[in-house]
Amino acid sequence: MASKQNRRSAIKNIITGSASVVSAGVLSSFTAKDMTDTKLKGNINQSVCPWCYKEMSLDELCVTAKNIGITAIDLVGPTGWPTLKKHGLHSSMCNGAEINLTDGFNDKKYHATLYKNYSEMIPQVAANGYTNLICFSGSRRGIDDETGWNNCIEGLKPLIAIAEKHNVVMVMELLNSRFDHKDYQCDRTSWGVELVKRINSPNFKLLYDIYHMQIDEGDVIRTIKNNHQYFAHYHTGGVPGRAEIDDTQELNYPAIIRAILATGYKGYLGQEFVPKREDKIASLKGVQICDV
């Protein structure tokens, strides 16, 4: 999910390219001439976040994504769903009920607004044939871990009951508090997993953002292997800088995707890297690196 500073306003520039895996598992960048129009194999379902391609209309992004083999769009609310349906694409992570990224369930003063927003949105998500609806812990503002967990439980429990009725999953995103979202409370896998355990419902899980968790805790593959049952969705992004996921950054995405697939995951991998190229379509074709 986009930060106020980076993901919705300050688009950073980085060289792109698709990539292949050589025998040793090292990433190797393709040049533009290597990127063909061959569609993705689809061993992992892929989606893309519109905020990364704000120069393109949602219609244009849908056409481009579908041509590449991407089957869903992330972070789209009710006003965008008709466009997705027109193009035969799924809404893999719905949004629009949250207040923002800082005012969340860990603070009781936002509970009334959040209850209204989510209790109205959950039935809409279900009625349109979707499952995942994003939510956020909010910033700490001096709230300790135990109080944060208790406040989240108090605010979420009534909504989880509604979500269970409609077969919707509320998904709290893990965001880094070191750089992009300073003071965000759900900034470690351990914090989020503890909340999932305490709520104890299949209709509340986590969005494991690989970019964010590499910054705050690292050890990505081991974390996925040990905690995959608590994750409903994944986001990508190159480190450093939410860069394109090529060999200029520190994460080995083919290895990460193989680890995700090994858990039996059948959901979506939301591509949330920021393109650099003027040719945004060439940048988006970089999702081939995850097509293991």
pTM of the model as a whole? 0.87
* Residue 27 covered by a domain: no
Q: What percent of the chain has pLDDT over 70?
A: 87
Could you give the number of structural domains in the chain? 1
Highest-confidence segment of 8-12, 23-27, 164-168: 164-168
Distances in whole angstroms, Cα of residue 189 to Cα of each of 6, 88, 219? 22, 34, 11
- Is 60 exceeded by the pLDDT of residue 10? no
pLDDT digits (tens, 9 = 90+) for 222-260: 999 999 999 999 999 999 999 899 888 999 999 999 999
* Residue 19 covered by a domain: no
* Residue 10 covered by a domain: no
Q: Where are the beta strands (DSSP E) in the chain?
A: 19-21, 27-29, 45-48, 72-76, 90-94, 132-135, 169-173, 204-209, 231-235, 268-271
Exposed (0-12), middle (13-18) or buried (19+): which is 217, by Cβ within 10 Å? middle
Specify the pLDDT at position 37.
56
Specify the pLDDT at position 278.
86
- Radius of gyration in angstroms for the set of CA atoms belonging to the chain, rounded to a whole number: 18
Average per-residue pLDDT for the chain:
89
What CATH number does residue 62 fall under? 3.20.20.150
- C-alpha 221/C-alpha 124 separation (Å) is 35
pLDDT digits (tens, 9 = 90+) for 125-172: 999 999 999 999 999 999 999 999 999 999 999 999 999 999 999 999
* Residue 259 covered by a domain: yes
Which of 279 and 261 is assigned the larger pLDDT? Answer: 261
Specify the pLDDT at position 86.
98
Least confident of 9-13, 147-151, 185-189, 211-215: 9-13
Beta carbons of 254 and 289 less than 8 angstroms apart: yes
Instruction: Dig out the tokens for 185 from the structure.
Output: 């409370």
Beta carbons of 18 and 286 less than 8 angstroms apart: yes
* Residue 22 covered by a domain: no
Residue 136 lies in domain? 44-287
* Residue 59 covered by a domain: yes
- Is 50 exceeded by the pLDDT of residue 35? no
pLDDT digits (tens, 9 = 90+) for 85-100: 999 999 999 999 999 9
Contact residues for 177 (Cβ-Cβ < 8 A; gap 6+)? 183, 184, 185, 187, 216
* Residue 13 covered by a domain: no
* Residue 174 covered by a domain: yes
- Is 60 exceeded by the pLDDT of residue 5? no
